[in-house]
A and B are shown apart, each in its own frame.
Chain A
Amino acid sequence: MTRTEQIAIGLGDLIGAEVRITGMASVGAQRATFFIDILDGTSTTPAVAQVSASVLGSVPASAEAAMLRLAEQVGVPVPDVIAASDDLPGVGAPALVVSRIEGRTVPRQILRGLTDDAAGESLARQCGEALARLHTIGEAQAPASLPRLSHTAYVDDLEAKLDALDDVRPAVRAGLAWLRANPIPEAPITLVHADFRNGNMIVDDNGLAAVLDWELAQVTDPMQDLAWMCLRTWRFGNDANPVGGFGSVAALRSGYEAAGGSWRADAIHWWSVARCAWWAIGLAGQAAAFTSGLTDAIMLAASGRRVPELEYDLLRLIADGPAD
């Protein structure tokens, strides 16, 4: 039996119905996303199943399901949770089954699908609103299994990841030194998605239809989410529109503040530097997996040559200072 067949059977056992895998949505390093049909008597329900590569190093699916439910309660658009298992029968990996929401997910298709500038501004505003609602979930309500990270702890974590790389990256090291030398005041920590950007959302003709991929979620300074959303790396060449290549920072901010969020420009700048460093380290780590022989995927080798973009962005952010 192939792994895909095992997954179909495991998902069927979990849900208590026959499951047919109808396609692959994406295959990442950490997990694969399948389109599935759930056949229950006469009805067929289209759904999406995310199956991690292994139990190790994965966010428990039960924690991710709890987060999706929390997010839904505060008005963040998310798929409905159908089933979750931290150890899918016969597969031995976390699996999450959610409802299928129609719309565009590929970044360049999202950009092409926006009819005019107003549609992009509206989407940026909706992203701000969604994040403000998410950030109403405080430390006490956030799942206990998620890491709690102060600014200092975040930089310590980055430094540990950088030290673990078999690669000398003084530009990233300078970024970490800058983060330590330019601390911002600690603020109340909240649930933070940490990977909400163009590429992890579903967009339809009404704009933001769902926020996807909650596997990096953590409990920390909410300004991290706003910084990540605005990084140049997620603009797909559309630098005139800092928010995901589709909207203005003013639109993101207006949505965030209209939904009750409090915008801190200095903290967003600090987190922009921190997340550039994080992604530079992440890409260098993908390249290291290739260099060490762990994988022969050419895409991961190519990641190594994207590191300079992030290093340049990081150093420009430091040189230019906060936007306002």
Chain B
Amino acid sequence: MIDRPDATVLLEAMAATLTDTVMPELSGGAQHQARIVANLCRIVARDLADDATDTTAALTALLGAEGSLDDLAAVLDHRLAAGELLDEALPLLLADAARRAEIAKPGYTDDTN
């Protein structure tokens, strides 16, 4: 069972209320914090819509191991620290960073460095 409005809709409504109603009444540091909170609401809404299955699948294939995303990331981290798998891991790491950057800041990966 899911109650309505669902989490994503609520977060977007919270962000809109902060931006359209609360922020104009504030100034200085309080306004800045309200802007940060509104942005975090939008980030969380996008985060909820993303389950990172592509990254988990790519890590499983690369490492030949099963586990949660956190477990697999820790294994890869150890292998990289040992000087292993760098070239093989770069494509999946770039795809994963792009996925997370788009959650944090939509459009970020449209531009080049």
Q: Does A317 contact B (CB under 8 A)?
A: yes
Q: Does B24 contact A (CB under 8 A)?
A: no
Interface band, chain A: 20 to 34
- Whether B83 and A180, one on each chain, are in contact in the complex, defined by CB atoms closer than 8 angstroms, is yes
> Which of A170, A298, A317 meets B40, CB within 8 Å?
A298
Residue of A nearest to B94 (CB): A315
- Whether B80 and A177, one on each chain, are in contact in the complex, defined by CB atoms closer than 8 angstroms, is yes
If A169-B77, A298-B36, A315-B97 touch, whether A174 touches B86 (CB-CB below 8 Å) is yes
User: In the complex, which residues of chain B have a beta carbon less than 8 angstroms from the beta carbon of A159?
Assistant: 81
If A174-B86, A308-B103 touch, whether A232 touches B76 (CB-CB below 8 Å) is no
**Chain B contacts with A in 1-45, Cβ cutoff 8 A:** 32-33, 36-37, 39-40, 43
Shortest B25–chain A CB gap in Å is 18
Shortest B103–chain A CB gap in Å is 7
User: In the complex, which residues of chain A have a beta carbon less than 8 angstroms from the beta carbon of B105?
Assistant: 309
Which of A146-154, A183-191, A299-307 makes up part of the contact surface?
A299-307
Shortest A4–chain B CB gap in Å is 16
- Whether B36 and A170, one on each chain, are in contact in the complex, defined by CB atoms closer than 8 angstroms, is no
- Whether B103 and A318, one on each chain, are in contact in the complex, defined by CB atoms closer than 8 angstroms, is no
**Chain A contacts with B in 154-190, Cβ cutoff 8 A:** 159, 168-171, 173-174, 176-178, 180-181
- Whether A299 and B33, one on each chain, are in contact in the complex, defined by CB atoms closer than 8 angstroms, is yes
User: In the complex, which residues of chain B have a beta carbon less than 8 angstroms from the beta carbon of A311?
Assistant: 93, 97, 100-101
Rounded to whole angstroms, the CA-CA distance of A176 and B113 in the bound complex is: 19
- Whether B113 and A232, one on each chain, are in contact in the complex, defined by CB atoms closer than 8 angstroms, is yes
Per-position binary interface string of chain B over residues 58-88, scored 1 when its CB falls under 8 Å from any chain A CB and 0 otherwise: 0000000000001001101100110100100
Rounded to whole angstroms, the CA-CA distance of A305 and B36 in the bound complex is: 11
- Whether B33 and A298, one on each chain, are in contact in the complex, defined by CB atoms closer than 8 angstroms, is yes
- Whether A170 and B73, one on each chain, are in contact in the complex, defined by CB atoms closer than 8 angstroms, is yes
- Whether A316 and B112, one on each chain, are in contact in the complex, defined by CB atoms closer than 8 angstroms, is yes
Shortest A232–chain B CB gap in Å is 6
> Which of B32, B77, B86, B112 meets A181, CB within 8 Å?
B86
Shortest A115–chain B CB gap in Å is 25
User: In the complex, which residues of chain B have a beta carbon less than 8 angstroms from the beta carbon of A116?
Assistant: none
Q: Does A320 contact B (CB under 8 A)?
A: yes
Rounded to whole angstroms, the CA-CA distance of A312 and B32 in the bound complex is: 26
User: In the complex, which residues of chain B have a beta carbon less than 8 angstroms from the beta carbon of A215?
Assistant: none
Rounded to whole angstroms, the CA-CA distance of A157 and B43 in the bound complex is: 32
Rounded to whole angstroms, the CA-CA distance of A319 and B109 in the bound complex is: 14
User: In the complex, which residues of chain B have a beta carbon less than 8 angstroms from the beta carbon of A301?
Assistant: 40
Q: Does B51 contact A (CB under 8 A)?
A: no
Q: Does A313 contact B (CB under 8 A)?
A: yes
- Whether A313 and B40, one on each chain, are in contact in the complex, defined by CB atoms closer than 8 angstroms, is no
The contact sample of 22 A-B pairs, CB cut-off 8 A, is A168-B74, A169-B77, A170-B76, A170-B93, A171-B93, A174-B90, A174-B93, A176-B81, A177-B81, A181-B86, A232-B113, A298-B37, A299-B36, A305-B104, A306-B104, A308-B97, A308-B103, A311-B97, A314-B97, A315-B93, A317-B113, A318-B90
Nearest 10 A-B pairs (CB), nearest first? A308-B100, A312-B97, A311-B97, A315-B94, A312-B101, A308-B101, A173-B80, A239-B111, A170-B76, A170-B77
Q: A305-B104, A308-B104 are in contact. List 11 more A-B contacts (CB 8 A).
A: A168-B73, A170-B76, A171-B96, A232-B113, A239-B111, A239-B112, A298-B40, A305-B103, A308-B97, A312-B100, A320-B112
